[in-house]
Structure 1
Amino acid sequence: MARRGGIWTAANVVTCVRVALIPLFMVLATAARADAGTSSDPVLAAASFALYVALALTDKLDGHLARSRGEVTDFGKFLDPIADKLLVFSALLLLLEQQLVGVWAVFAILAREFLVSALRMLAGVQGEVIAAGNLGKAKTAVTLVSISCYYATLLSASLLLGTPTTWLLGAADALMIVAVALTVASGVQYFWNARHVVFRA
């Protein structure tokens, strides 16, 4: 497809805005947290939840814009996955601090991203491109939904004066288990499909 407008295409602008707003999400989410013996701020909790959901949805928007407008660029290919990882890990680290997600879940997701990124770099050196598979796309979608459920749980707790919605927290936990399973499975799939890259003499 032809490229128009240099790197500042509509898709890349959306991606850059996503990256720029991640610190704002972190500030809002941190400010919304409750001190000991108090409930969290419902306005800040609602703002952080809404902003996270909006940023997560732009993951699909920038890709759609790039393909539909014929504006796929190397800059976009570089920045989009970084934006996705920054959003996921900023949210996970905050949830980890609040003891809503386990350290092993965060470690599994982080380790997989490092390993797959290293694999892609190695493949790039050898002139190959490793495209995202269906398991990887499913992993990303389930992880984003799970994190959204956690922040919806925090919002419900702030509205109910400190009492979280049990079913919502259970749904978030269940989705995170699925996300970790998909994380491991997709990582194994990437390395199996690219084993010739790893073991090439």
Structure 2
Amino acid sequence: MLTLPNILTLSRIVTVPVLAALLWFPRWPLGYGIGFAVYCLMGITDYFDGYLARAQGAVSKLGIFLDPIADKIMVAAVILVLTAQGVLTGPYVGDMHVIAGLVILLREIAVSGLREFLGGIQVSVPVSKLAKWKTTFQMVSLGALILGGALPGWTATLDGFTFNLPHTVGLTTLWGAAALTLVTGWDYLRVGLKHMD
């Protein structure tokens, strides 16, 4: 049923191609600025669709199904586009920052499969506080990487390296999200293994 929370969730899914298109040109600060605004708006709708569903008593099966999908589609699209355009590079380790993005994507796929399996045997896996921190790091990271493209002149110099401040914050928090991803992924796997023959 198309309640307001579900419409907000669907709007995030429909907006993903727009966001990807805006991020496709890494030398276009205006596009990245608009992309950052779109990304923030998508984050706001992510908060409000859940809040409104609970407040209005309008939690639906469609919303429960669509909300995590919308989040994963957005995160995957942003990571893939930023990787393709060479944004996940930085001092010292070059493009090895892609590994952090890869860890996040692999965990999302694995946990989705695990949840589908457990759902089939009527076992639910609640979201842990650590998983919420992982999501926070992830959202801050991707937002900062987008903002770095919008503000290419916002730089600092340290040890002879000149670096973009938001971009560096984005790469740092991306590794933090990847580390939390491994921990929470292992937690979900341990729960799942208890229900496998």
- Using the size of structure 1 for normalisation, the TM-score is 0.84
Following TM superposition, by how much is the alpha carbon of 1:194 offset from its aligned partner in structure 2, in angstroms?
A: 3.2
1:25 aligns with 2:23: no
User: Is the contact between residue 122 and residue 197 of structure 1 (CA under 8 Å) also seen in structure 2?
Assistant: no
| Paired-residue identity, % | 30
User: Is the contact between residue 157 and residue 165 of structure 1 (CA under 8 Å) also seen in structure 2?
Assistant: no
Question: Which runs of 4 or more aligned residues in structure 1 lie more than 6 Å from their structure 2 counterparts after TM superposition?
Answer: none
What secondary structure, in the 3-state scheme, does the structure 2 residue paired with 1:157 have?
A: coil
Q: How many residues align?
A: 183
RMSD, aligned α-carbons: 1.8
User: Is the contact between residue 156 and residue 165 of structure 1 (CA under 8 Å) also seen in structure 2?
Assistant: no
What secondary structure, in the 3-state scheme, does the structure 1 residue paired with 2:131 have?
A: helix
Please identify which structure carries the higher strand content.
2
User: Which residue is equivalent to 1:151?
Assistant: 146
Following TM superposition, by how much is the alpha carbon of 1:90 offset from its aligned partner in structure 2, in angstroms?
A: 0.8
User: Which residue is equivalent to 2:8?
Assistant: 14
Following TM superposition, by how much is the alpha carbon of 1:65 offset from its aligned partner in structure 2, in angstroms?
A: 0.9
1:100 aligns with 2:87: yes
Give 5+ residue unaligned stretches, structure 2.
Answer: 89-96, 156-161
What secondary structure, in the 3-state scheme, does the structure 2 residue paired with 1:67 have?
A: helix
1:141 aligns with 2:109: no
User: Which residue is equivalent to 1:121?
Assistant: 116
Following TM superposition, by how much is the alpha carbon of 1:126 offset from its aligned partner in structure 2, in angstroms?
A: 1.2
Following TM superposition, by how much is the alpha carbon of 1:99 offset from its aligned partner in structure 2, in angstroms?
A: 2.3
- Cα deviation, 1:29-83, whole Å, max 9, x if unaligned, reads 22x432xxxxx2x332211111011112222111111111101111111110010
Following TM superposition, by how much is the alpha carbon of 1:165 offset from its aligned partner in structure 2, in angstroms?
A: 5.8
Aligned pair in 2 of structure 1 residues 159, 188: CA closer, same or farther (>3 Å)? closer
User: Which residue is equivalent to 1:54?
Assistant: 41
- Cα deviation, 1:76-129, whole Å, max 9, x if unaligned, reads 111100100011011111111122323322221111111111111111111111
